[in-house]
Chain A
């Protein structure tokens, strides 16, 4: 069966989503196990696929048995394999962790919610695995549509925020589609590898340039790259916690993947870095993105919204890293896809747990949380350390490569921006930790010393255990950075990039 892994990882969740939708009308309790099983199979296939790629190199899977470029084909290489595994594992963990909050927030719409959840994961996995530019668009739209639905299910401003996201997301997807159209008109092909073969003779073509720009702008819109980020904070803040902790870690990261895929495979680094000579300005944009994200985050007094601005800053990390145009920077960007997915998941799961117990996430609600929810907050601390970039958590190591890339490219401002954002993260999170650790929980003030400890009121085990797994993963991935880099990422980057 292992040769069918590429198909399974998309088809199983898709079919299960349909079954869940039916099951939602029959027996609501069936939905969750089916969803877990489906994502479990997907995660199994993804990891199996990654292991196969490590053994055998690039795997081509022809859908419908048609040879590319006639039919649609998957190209699974090291880059895909890695991102696929991350996406599927993150989605699975979040699903398990979110069950209680889903039950709590949508008692009568459980079926459709799980349907959308699994469909969204299908879409994201499909985006990552596909080797066809147009197919990517369709899957993009699946992920986006389900995302709008999931995000809009939140509290009162959520529909408006989701509608704004929809406008921006649609513009982004349309730009992407236009870019693909421009490429199609000059190459006549939709298959990424095939396009890449035809393109070198067309590098001077204005159409290719136009295609490139419009495509990148589209992808940036979707990943909320500054200054195209305006839709993101509200959309993620007011979303239900199960949705925000799925979407925040994955969607931006998958879009970064798309960008890297287009740089590396379709347009080739030669075109993107050498012929165009725009990398420097894009890194500058990334610098602004990081700095602005950090500053905007500083101004927030609301945990979840603050996290969303950090997501924006992190997007800047990865875009900048990818566009530094050297091996270290690209390694950093790819590594950061993995790490950032995990750490964003970690902090958003914490936010979810807090919302589940406290129904609020303004800073004032967080007082005394360390006593009240010690396990959640311990995991939060690990996530925070990773976000700041303290070794041996994984956040440090991707930052390591990004900074190294900046040094090798002699782009000091990017390095400065990375350090600045680390510092701001430290300020941001220690502000929270201070409130949560040292301020008493209820309004009964700590008179003198030796007051009675608050009773522990931890989130249920099914939410804490996945959270702890993620927190542990942050450290483990950090320690195994060397393996990830030498065995996977090194092969994901073409030889041409030094």
Chain B
């Protein structure tokens, strides 16, 4: 297999290198890629969409249809992970382990036994060896709000600086993942329930596709945000800018929820226990 793999890889590489012979030079400003379509995007974007970040404009307006499916891809990735891994009817082990947070002592509760309800002093653990580090927990707790704030900023400021819905969404998702890693998955899931993930994820995509469909209902083509002008009471170009913002928010919501969803399923193999 190794030999075959090597041969295939080398052959493919040879073919690809053969193809590069007729390429324009690297970073050549006169290459077709730089002269055919991109000048239009660079020169007209401000006029047509009033978004300075050309990437955002192209992403969410000129090629917004691509981006809608990009969001759908991640959404379907989430659904696939869920459908593959999630185990609903799992038999609970007879003995359950709890840790007394203040002392660090581990308690084994026999079947039928209960710990005091509404007590924050105990946390459920799954194995005797479950690390517990106060410093990490505290620092992460402190850090997470700022990460989230940054995530929101990235989404909202996508028009003017690098970033946008996708990056912001990942950052927001990462903040919850950080929580899940530093505490444990149960804590994170308490903050953001599985159902919330599962609902937000399609909702985000729905915001995106729904905006496009709204344009369609307003009489223009799908994803033609200038149709929103009549709803938002602005001129068509600004409407495009606003439309981009709306879909970026949709992307952000979808990506955040989906990333968390995937992480939850992967890290607990679908059992939603303590996670990593």
Contacts and interface: CB of A to CB of B under 8 A. Distances in A.
Interface of A: 4, 7, 11, 14-15, 17-19, 21-22, 25, 61-66, 69-72, 108-109, 112-113, 115-116, 119, 122-123, 126, 132, 134-135, 138-139, 141-142, 145-146, 148-149, 152-153, 159, 178, 182, 184-190, 198, 205-211, 213-214
Given A15-B206, A21-B201, A22-B199, A186 B22 contact: yes
Nearest to B41: A70
Given A15-B210, A64-B224, A25 B195 contact: yes
- Main SS at interface, chain B: helix
B202 A108 contact: no
Given A69-B37, A153-B84, A211-B19, A116 B76 contact: yes
B31 interface: yes
Q: Which of A14, A148, A152, A213 has the most CB of B within 10 A?
A: A14
Nearest to B60: A64
Interface of B: 12, 15-16, 18-24, 31-38, 40-41, 61-66, 68-70, 72-73, 75-77, 79-80, 82-84, 86, 88-89, 195, 198-199, 201-203, 205-206, 209-210, 212-213, 216, 220-226
B222 A7 contact: yes
A389 B88 CA distance: 47
B236 to A, nearest CB: 10
B79 A4 contact: no
A193 B72 CA distance: 26
A22 B16 contact: no
B83 A149 contact: yes
B62 A62 contact: no
15 contacts: A11-B222, A14-B68, A19-B206, A62-B221, A64-B62, A70-B40, A72-B65, A138-B70, A146-B76, A149-B83, A185-B33, A188-B34, A189-B37, A209-B19, A210-B18
Contacts of B33: 184-185, 188
A21 B221 contact: no
A64 B65 contact: yes
A145 B16 contact: no
Given A18-B205, A63-B221, A213-B15, A138 B79 contact: no
Contact of B221 (A64, A134, A153): A64
A119 B89 CA distance: 27
B32 A63 contact: no
Given A188-B34, A188-B35, A7 B221 contact: yes
A207 B224 CA distance: 35
B19 A207 contact: yes
A61 B195 CA distance: 38
Given A182-B19, A186-B23, A70 B37 contact: yes
